[in-house]
Structure 1
């Protein structure tokens, strides 16, 4: 006779030690189980299902209870709408029914697995045996007369020909077969919780201790170990509580530990006894990251032959067929077993451990005009849509909640029929927001598996195609030239009379007043054009000029003070190129598209480091850039430049008033400028991240600088490159930086090399796009060489120092 755990404990306390010993994992599962854990959630989805029951429900959990207790049919999914508090229990799921987009609806589907135990409660729709033979209907008498029928076992779910376990068979669900020679066979239904298939990529159990018995750290916590594996960064990986998971392609599930001395460790998850689910048909071309590529390319992009995955020569490694049994690591074919950017392999070249492979793309659609580089100085305008946005052809690719859009040509994570082939006139290129079905406004499928689609973060245009919501005013040299900031050294307006009404003498003229010092030749950067009021000597009282009155040599001009500048941090007025090429081998930036980038120079104007404007009067740089001198007078800051020669009229030069290094000797420092920078189209501060925020692994970010290009083109111009952030857990592997990267630092770079920061880029920014603004997450700090394979660059993690930055700026 079977009995629940609580019943056994009540009947005999002698059984408790045995239960705890043999069923601890099961008990932990029961204690932690939420009724919704047995379902896969998809927001914004609706199923067309003719058989359903409609109920009133106050919550998703209450609706799940309706599904669990449904007695009119086997409930496989339910829909819940919070606005109407409506609950629909369904007989079908996305495998058998058509799926639609619908706002404010949430779809929950029962997980397609046995769950705990023998699969007695399995109610999935698998209808084939483990050998692929179709199941006989439970109500039929041919070809086999069944002992288990819907009439005899009404609660066993014996509907259609679906695999079931009405007799509690130890081996799990089974069925009578349509093969006259085989009465019954078992079905290949995966186990959900207590074991893992393959490398545990899909393990969703509740084990929360490591192989050595350490308790796991919660994934949403940064204590005691800061990391990038946050649930919001990996929504498809089910990083729930502190359960063991495998979000990054390790050989088996792992977790960060609660021990300060042990950053992470593998978990002891047994392999399932049932065979893994059959893999989806592999592709012979590249789609997404190419994790399903199963072609036979076996040469890298640099022409090196691939090493066999089962071989340990010439390179020893852990990416073996035994550790990754479901990744088709056959022969020496290029594969992507661990979620890299694209398929790769270890090489037979002893000097090149591994390299990416060139796999032809599955995307047959040519690049649209929108994918072509922008003009050199294409000014960024606020994108908007007209009407319902059917004609919108902009490049917005984020939703109203900040989720990245899924490419229209992709079927992952959401399958759909909104493709360029089906909607040839809808402009469905890349992952740009569009409105192919004439909805109320542009939308997209999201890259979050739990949210099918959302409207895009776009404003509606007015009648002239302009955004109807006004932007905040911006006081700049370009928009309001006839006012001064501070003492007006940067004033370039056209006032040409003194405060007493006298007309100004031209600066290039020597009549009526002869002067040899303040001329366009002696002060080429002072804007001494015509007879306009200027302040070439930094007079504290403001702009002045020589007068045309022979009796008065010079006078001050009456120019009002500008109001405090208003600006949006991290938003360039010129569209960045966002080059992700192989600034060593990056590409030359569009001029002034990174307006927070500064050049840190010696007192005589020689560039040696980078930095970032984070406030009109403050610059963030690396502490090691300030090692030669502790005197502020030894440094100058150049802003608003694209050419290293700084010959543009937009250049602003500031002395350094104070320099403050981080007190615990982290490689980060602040510079206070002698006077605030003039905020204009060429000079804009970057945004700072939230305190202690951490980037997810493989997030694409960008670095800029005038550093050593090692013979590549673009020397003397600001260069940029984009590459992914690499989680410290991976970056500290022996083959990479071997434990050198500290918690207050982060890694970024292309593992195969070719792109990196270098000498002269130190102190510059690593910025990442957060919706429509660039946020500085790193300060360029150090690296082992420049652009070397397996040696990514290291950056100080800015988010760790937000309190220090704020306190320094407020107290100075």
Structure 2
């Protein structure tokens, strides 16, 4: 679909991409809402791709399966050499150097994992992952109505736009539905808890994590004043608003419903299914064991040898292996 847009007194033709350039379609940001089998995406969803999924998909209303794949055409036009979205997941240009001027190991800057902008692994071993200096396309703006699902568009000073999304959606264009959050935990430590409990076992109100009053601390990146476990403690906790009580644990109940055997988010922090082998079929080492691979994840020793992503530290669930030649690897778990 093409839209004629007036920008800085010039008429420019914008290409709203309804196609993909990547193998697994992680770059798809279009508006298609019909699956390969002709089913309609539910809950106002559109087909979405991700860096860890094999193809674009969406949830459907079906008694047998709750999701289906989407057949998205491959793009045939020449990729733009600028960013059309805030994070540049759509970027497939020819930039081959990082911001510092280092050459990319695999030649091209891309953003398959939802980072803040396209990046690559530098050939400089002291640098590792580094972002690339790619300009923003100078014709983006809210006049194209880019925000989906009721998102509010705001123009930025550089000619781009940002979308303020409703609570249940996220992404550059509010195209991703946020998975529902359980107000319970499935591990003893509750490292995965993402709920909104903000009162402690002792009845204290939780202090805002962004605040240093009445207690100063360094964990400002936690949300609101919700109970969390950012430091691998015994259970979720928070600083309190009482100056005489620095912190207290929170009484988060255990979930009583069966855990889903699939991923509800890209990183799968919420996954508590029963897969216990890697993508290559190697059995997982028990989290309570230190052989053949020693580690510091003893706080999830109650999780047996199941694939997990504690603290969302990796891009998807993983485990240490029982093979001394392969320390750890990712697990093959489907999306819901």
Which TM-score applies when normalising by structure 2? 0.40
Higher helix share: 1
Greater RCO structure (CA 8 Å; 6+ sep): 2
Identify, as 1 or 2, the structure richer in strand: 1
Query: Greater Rg, structure 1 or structure 2?
Result: 1
